[in-house]
Every structure is written in C-alpha cells, then in structure tokens.
Amino acid sequence: MARPEKTEAISEFKERLEASQIAVATKFIGIKAEQATDLRRKLREEGVQFKVYKNTLVKRALDELGLSEAVEFLDGPVAWAFCDDPVAPAKILKEYNKDIPLVDMNGGILEGSVVGKSQLEALASLPSREALVAQVVGTIAMPLRNFVGVMSAVPRNFVNVLEQVRKQKEEQEAA
C-alpha cells in the first residue's frame, strides 16, 4: 500500500472511532464468504459499519489517539464494527457467535475507553435501547397512573356511599 493510502486509512479509522460511541474488534478466522455477507447485512440493518483494516495501520492510529492498550486486540485478521448504539454491535456479534463460533469479539473501545471481551458480553446482554426507554417511561408513568386511580376512586366511592344511603332510606320507608 502506498504511503498516501496508508495515511488515508489511518485517518479514516480515527474518524470512525471518534464519530462512534463504540468500536468492537472482531476476529473472523475461517469464516466463509456467504457467512461474512450475512454478518455484514445484519450489522448494516442495525446501523453498524463493519470494516477490515490492516493491523499495523490500526496500531498506528490507536497510538496516535492514546489508546495503546487496545493493540492487544489486534491478533490475526480483525474487523472493526463502529456504531452509535453501544449495545447493537456487541449483541449482534454475540448472537452470531452462537451459530458460527469462528466470529468472536476480542475487545473494543467504548466512548474513548478500552473495554475487554467480558465487558462487551455484558453489554450484549443488556436490553435494546428501545426496551430501556420503554422501561424508564413505564417507571415514570406508574406513579401518575396510580395517582389517577386514587383520584378517580374518591368520586366513585362517594357515589357508592350515596347509593347505599338511598337504599337504606328506601328500606326504612318500606318498613
């Protein structure tokens, strides 16, 4: 690779890394072409960019960014998954690893911090962003729902008491 192409690849990697919340280094030794295409399709559907860079160029970019600890993830052929959703790539790669154990997460960079494989697997076990937002909204809405229930119970109970008083008076008049 000529020198300008190398510097362009380094700057592209750095730009993608800085623009994403997470970058996951993935080992993919022995994967077939159709499996790689399927994985790329699944990642693309979730808005994940997936690209292979030369390890020497990635090492240079990581050194320039002060993330030298991430160099340990560069063992063999490594593809990088970049995304704004910190859960999506880890979840997809972990799920894909169940079917095809040749694809495995080495580690990654989460918002400028180096994270290991175990931390990525913990991220993958989290519910999706939409599910978390729904849980928060449900938690916020529950006290409001309870308040409305209590406030509607007061007039309902008052009507029930009035009905009981009416029945009592009717029984007294009939007797």
Please check whether residue 76 is in contact with residue 27, taking contact to mean a CB–CB distance below 8 angstroms.
Answer: yes
Architecture (CATH level 2) of domain 3-126: 2-Layer Sandwich (3.30)
Cα–Cα separations (whole angstroms), residue 24 to 4, 63, 147, 156: 26, 17, 45, 57
**Rounded Cα gap, residues 29 and 19, in angstroms:** 27
Q: Backbone phi, then psi, for 147, in 5-degree steps?
A: -60, -45
* Token digits of residue 69: 């600890």
β-strand partners of 103:
28
Please check whether residue 22 is in contact with residue 109, taking contact to mean a CB–CB distance below 8 angstroms.
Answer: yes
- In order along its 175 residues, the chain shows pLDDT tens digits of 568 888 898 889 889 888 888 999 988 788 888 888 888 898 899 888 988 888 899 899 988 888 888 888 888 888 899 998 888 888 888 888 888 877 888 888 888 888 888 888 888 887 777 787 888 888 888 888 888 788 888 888 888 888 888 888 888 888 6
* The pTM of the whole model exceeds 0.85: no
